[in-house]
Chains A and B, each alone.
Chain A
Amino acid sequence: MVHDVNSGTARTQHTTSDLGASVEITVTVNGTTQTHEVEPRLLLVQYIREVVGLTGTNIGCDTSSCGACSLHLDGEAVKSCTVLAVQADGQEIRTIEGMAAADGTLHPMQQAFMEHHGLQCGYCTPGMVMAATSLLEENPNPTEEDVRLGLEGNLCRCTGYHNIVKSVLAAASAGA
Chain B
Amino acid sequence: MTMTDEPTDTAVIGTRVLRKEDPVLLTGEAVFANDMKVPGALFMAVLRSPYASAKIVSIDTTAAAAMPGVQAVYTGADLADLWAAPMPCAWAVTEDMLNPPHHPIAIDAVHYVGDGVAVVLADSDTIAHDAIEAIDVEYDPGEPIIDLDDALSDRIVVHPELGTNSSYTWNLLVEETDGAVQKAFDEAAYTVSERYVQQRLIPMAMEPRAVVSIPQPFGGDVTLYSSTQIPHVLKVMIAVTLGVPEHQLRVVAPAVGGGFGAKLDVYAEELLCVALSRKHGVPVRWNETRSENTVATIQGRGQIQHIDLAADSAGKLTAIRVRLTADMGAYLQLITPGIPILGAFLYAGVYDLPKAYDFSCTGVFTNLTPTDAYRGAGRPEATYAIERAIDALAKEVGADPLEFRRRNFIRKEQFPYEAFTGLVYDSGDHDKAATIAAEMIDYAGVRARQAEQNTEGSTKRLGLGVSSYFEMCGLAPSRVLASLNYSAGGWEAATVRILPTSKVQVVTGTSPHGQGHETSWSMIVADKLGIDPADVDVLHSDTAIAPLGMDTYGSRSLPVGGVAVGMACDKVIDKAKQIAAHQLEANLDDIEFVGGTFRVAGSPDREVPLAAIAFAAFTAHDLPDGLEPNLEAQVTYDPPNFSWPFGTHMCLVEVDTETGDVDVLQYVAVDDCGNQVNPMIVEGQVHGGVVQGLAQALYEGADHDSDGNLRTSTLADYLVPAASDVPPITIGHSVTPSPTNPLGVKGVGEAGTIGSAPAVMNAIVDALSGLGVRDVPMPASPNTVWNAIHAAQSTSATGGNQ
A150 CB to nearest chain B CB (Å): 8
Q: Are B113 and A5 in contact (CB under 8 A)?
A: yes
CB neighbors of B among A48-91 (8 A):
49, 53-66, 68
A171 CB to nearest chain B CB (Å): 12
Residue A133 at the B interface, CB < 8 A? no
Q: Are B27 and A56 in contact (CB under 8 A)?
A: yes
Contact pattern, B 715-740, Cβ under 8 Å of A = 1, otherwise 0: 11000101111101100000000000
**Contact size range, B:** 35 or more
Taking A5-B295, A122-B514 as contacts, is the C-beta distance between A55 and B35 under 8 angstroms?
yes
- A40 proximity list for chain B (CB < 8 A): none
- B25 proximity list for chain A (CB < 8 A): 119, 121-122, 125
CB neighbors of B among A88-117 (8 A):
95-97, 99-100, 106, 110, 113-115, 117
List the B residue with the shortest CB-CB distance to A68: B206
> Total interface residues on A, using CB and 8 Å?
69
- A149 proximity list for chain B (CB < 8 A): 723-724
- A126 proximity list for chain B (CB < 8 A): 26, 28
Task: Choose from B34, B132, B722, B729 the contact partner of A152 (Cβ within 8 Å).
Answer: B722
Residue B32 at the A interface, CB < 8 A? yes
Residue A124 at the B interface, CB < 8 A? yes
Q: Is the interface of A mostly helix, strand, loop or mixed?
A: loop
Task: Choose from B113, B206, B724 the contact partner of A121 (Cβ within 8 Å).
Answer: B206
Q: Are A65 and B715 in contact (CB under 8 A)?
A: yes
Residue B130 at the A interface, CB < 8 A? yes
A100 vs B23: C-alpha distance when bound (angstroms): 10
A58 vs B255: C-alpha distance when bound (angstroms): 12
B45 CB to nearest chain A CB (Å): 8
Residue B29 at the A interface, CB < 8 A? yes
Residue B129 at the A interface, CB < 8 A? yes
Residue B493 at the A interface, CB < 8 A? no
A149 vs B723: C-alpha distance when bound (angstroms): 7
Task: Choose from A55, A62, A114 the contact partner of B28 (Cβ within 8 Å).
Answer: A55
List the A residue with the shortest CB-CB distance to B752: A160
Taking A5-B113, A122-B30, A156-B206 as contacts, is the C-beta distance between A106 and B23 under 8 angstroms?
yes
Residue A174 at the B interface, CB < 8 A? no
Residue A23 at the B interface, CB < 8 A? no
A161 vs B723: C-alpha distance when bound (angstroms): 6
A61 vs B716: C-alpha distance when bound (angstroms): 9
Q: Which of B305-313, B405-413, B683-691 contacts A (4 or more CB under 8 A)?
A: B683-691
A99 vs B207: C-alpha distance when bound (angstroms): 22
B626 CB to nearest chain A CB (Å): 47
- B688 proximity list for chain A (CB < 8 A): 120, 157-160
Q: Are A163 and B289 in contact (CB under 8 A)?
A: no
A132 vs B241: C-alpha distance when bound (angstroms): 46
Q: Are B258 and A123 in contact (CB under 8 A)?
A: yes
Task: Choose from A5, A6, A11, A119 the contact partner of B22 (Cβ within 8 Å).
Answer: A119
Residue A134 at the B interface, CB < 8 A? no
Residue B277 at the A interface, CB < 8 A? no
Residue B479 at the A interface, CB < 8 A? no
Residue B260 at the A interface, CB < 8 A? yes
- B23 proximity list for chain A (CB < 8 A): 106, 114
B64 CB to nearest chain A CB (Å): 12
Q: Are A63 and B716 in contact (CB under 8 A)?
A: yes
B265 CB to nearest chain A CB (Å): 17
Q: Which of B119-127, B638-646, B770-778 contacts A (4 or more CB under 8 A)?
A: B119-127
Residue A13 at the B interface, CB < 8 A? yes
Task: Choose from B126, B208, B513 the contact partner of A11 (Cβ within 8 Å).
Answer: B126
A23 CB to nearest chain B CB (Å): 17
- A129 proximity list for chain B (CB < 8 A): 26
Residue B427 at the A interface, CB < 8 A? no
A16 CB to nearest chain B CB (Å): 12
B202 CB to nearest chain A CB (Å): 11
Contact pattern, B 254-280, Cβ under 8 Å of A = 1, otherwise 0: 011110100000000000000000000
Residue A170 at the B interface, CB < 8 A? no
Q: Are B514 and A12 in contact (CB under 8 A)?
A: no
Residue A176 at the B interface, CB < 8 A? no
Q: Which of B90-98, B191-199, B706-714 contacts A (4 or more CB under 8 A)?
A: B706-714
A63 vs B127: C-alpha distance when bound (angstroms): 21
Q: Are B26 and A163 in contact (CB under 8 A)?
A: no
A48 vs B711: C-alpha distance when bound (angstroms): 32
CB neighbors of A among B203-254 (8 A):
204-208
List the A residue with the shortest CB-CB distance to B26: A110
Residue B544 at the A interface, CB < 8 A? no
A39 CB to nearest chain B CB (Å): 9
A65 vs B714: C-alpha distance when bound (angstroms): 8
A163 vs B710: C-alpha distance when bound (angstroms): 33
A144 vs B728: C-alpha distance when bound (angstroms): 10
- A147 proximity list for chain B (CB < 8 A): 723
Q: Are B28 and A95 in contact (CB under 8 A)?
A: yes
Residue A151 at the B interface, CB < 8 A? yes
- B714 proximity list for chain A (CB < 8 A): 61-63, 65
Q: Are A161 and B290 in contact (CB under 8 A)?
A: no
Taking A12-B126, A59-B34, A99-B27 as contacts, is the C-beta distance between A117 and B255 under 8 angstroms?
no
A52 CB to nearest chain B CB (Å): 12
Taking A99-B27, A161-B726 as contacts, is the C-beta distance between A121 and B50 under 8 angstroms?
no
A63 vs B294: C-alpha distance when bound (angstroms): 13
Residue B742 at the A interface, CB < 8 A? no
- B102 proximity list for chain A (CB < 8 A): none
- B257 proximity list for chain A (CB < 8 A): 58, 121-124
List the A residue with the shortest CB-CB distance to B717: A63
A99 vs B296: C-alpha distance when bound (angstroms): 35
A68 vs B683: C-alpha distance when bound (angstroms): 24
Q: Are A60 and B681 in contact (CB under 8 A)?
A: no
Contact pattern, A 30-46, Cβ under 8 Å of B = 1, otherwise 0: 00000000000000000
- A29 proximity list for chain B (CB < 8 A): none
Residue B607 at the A interface, CB < 8 A? no
Residue B515 at the A interface, CB < 8 A? yes
A48 CB to nearest chain B CB (Å): 10
Residue B424 at the A interface, CB < 8 A? no
Taking A5-B48, A160-B726 as contacts, is the C-beta distance between A120 and B716 under 8 angstroms?
no
B43 CB to nearest chain A CB (Å): 10
A32 vs B572: C-alpha distance when bound (angstroms): 50
Max chain A Cβ within 10 angstroms of own Cβ: one of B22, B683, B716 = B22
- B51 proximity list for chain A (CB < 8 A): 2
Taking A56-B29, A158-B688 as contacts, is the C-beta distance between A13 and B127 under 8 angstroms?
yes
A113 CB to nearest chain B CB (Å): 6
Residue B173 at the A interface, CB < 8 A? no
Residue B292 at the A interface, CB < 8 A? yes
Residue B18 at the A interface, CB < 8 A? yes
Contact pattern, B 693-712, Cβ under 8 Å of A = 1, otherwise 0: 00000000000010101110
List the A residue with the shortest CB-CB distance to B135: A6
Q: Are A121 and B720 in contact (CB under 8 A)?
A: no
Residue A155 at the B interface, CB < 8 A? yes
Q: What are 18 A-B contacts with C-beta separation under 8 Å? A: A2-B707, A8-B129, A11-B129, A55-B28, A62-B714, A66-B715, A97-B28, A120-B516, A123-B205, A123-B258, A144-B728, A147-B723, A149-B724, A151-B724, A152-B723, A157-B260, A162-B728, A165-B723
**B-side interface residues toward A, CB under 8 Å?**
18-19, 21-32, 34-35, 37, 47-51, 68, 113-114, 124-127, 129-130, 132-133, 204-208, 255-258, 260, 289-292, 295-296, 513-516, 680-681, 683-684, 687-692, 705, 707, 709-711, 713-716, 720, 722-726, 728-729, 752
Known A5-B292, A68-B206, A97-B27; further 19 A-B contacts with Cβ < 8 A: A2-B709, A5-B296, A5-B713, A6-B50, A11-B130, A12-B126, A13-B124, A63-B290, A95-B28, A96-B27, A106-B27, A113-B26, A115-B18, A120-B516, A122-B257, A123-B205, A151-B724, A157-B688, A162-B687
